[in-house]
Amino acid sequence: MTWNEHGGRLGEEFFTPGSSSFTEFLAAHRPELLSTRRVLPDGVRAAPDQVPHGTTVLALSFRDGVLIAGDRRATMGNLIAQRDLEKVHPADDYTAVAFAGTVGLALDMVKLYQVELTHFEKIEGVAMTLDGKARRLAGMIRQNLGQAMQGLAVVPLLTGYDPARPEGERGRIFSFDIAGGLYEKTGFHAEGSGSPYASGALKKLFRKGLDRREAALAALQALYDAADDDSATGGPDINRRIFPIVSVITEDGFERLPEAETAALSREMVEQRRTRPDGPHATP
């Protein structure tokens, strides 16, 4: 039902009490608007070299909250589909989501998730808890299972600032599988094709109590290592001035690091790699 079909009046569904979930509302009344519900015809599978895929994203906790970052490359098979893709997005003031996987579906899911959190707060009068936000995103991923089994998977990474946690532990990280399984991670986590190499770097560099600058450098080092071994992951492109996206969430809310700061840190890291190509060693 549309506004025009009712002569300027909203349909009854807008005035009927129900769930505070915007996704459930759409599923009940306009399911065709949910891209996560569309499945390819039986026997059809998406060709990996015909659909852009985003690659490596990561998160790590630090002294004041949590950091989330991603490289900028999207690939179609052996081709670079995009060099400056944004894979890290704020979900609300204290939550951020990054994604690996099918770009088109991932961007739709991020936009729907942002609306989902806003809709809940408007209906209920309070913000959803961080655990509730994680469960809600898990449910949205589960709705995409049919497409994931046909090669169109989306694998988000969720981070948030939780003031209910003890000081120093308020930055939280959640990962998911393609079936909507939800897992909370401690310290750090990475997703995407370059994640084994990024995780290996973070295992070496992560420690409790990192400040913002140290956490940002650790994230950039991890993405550099991922790009060094995974052709689908893009490292800092000094010539084109394309650098990874790095964002933090603290008690002051979500903040994307200014491009000038990310560029300066990236150049510092690349210069360090001239004398130590394998990157910094673990702190004793």
Element (H, E) at 284: none
Q: Tell me which of 23, 36, 55, 95 is the catalytic residue.
A: 55
Q: Are 54 and 223 in contact (CB under 8 A)?
A: no
DSSP secondary structure code for residue 182 in this structure: E
Return the DSSP state at 84: S
Residue 92 burial by CB count (10 A; 0-12/13-18/19+): exposed, middle or buried?
buried
The question of whether 16 is a catalytic residue gets the answer no
As given in the structure block, the two tokens for residue 53 are 């895929």
Confirm if 51 and 152 have CB atoms less than 8 A apart.
Answer: yes
Q: Are 21 and 116 in contact (CB under 8 A)?
A: yes
Task: State the catalytic residues.
Answer: 55
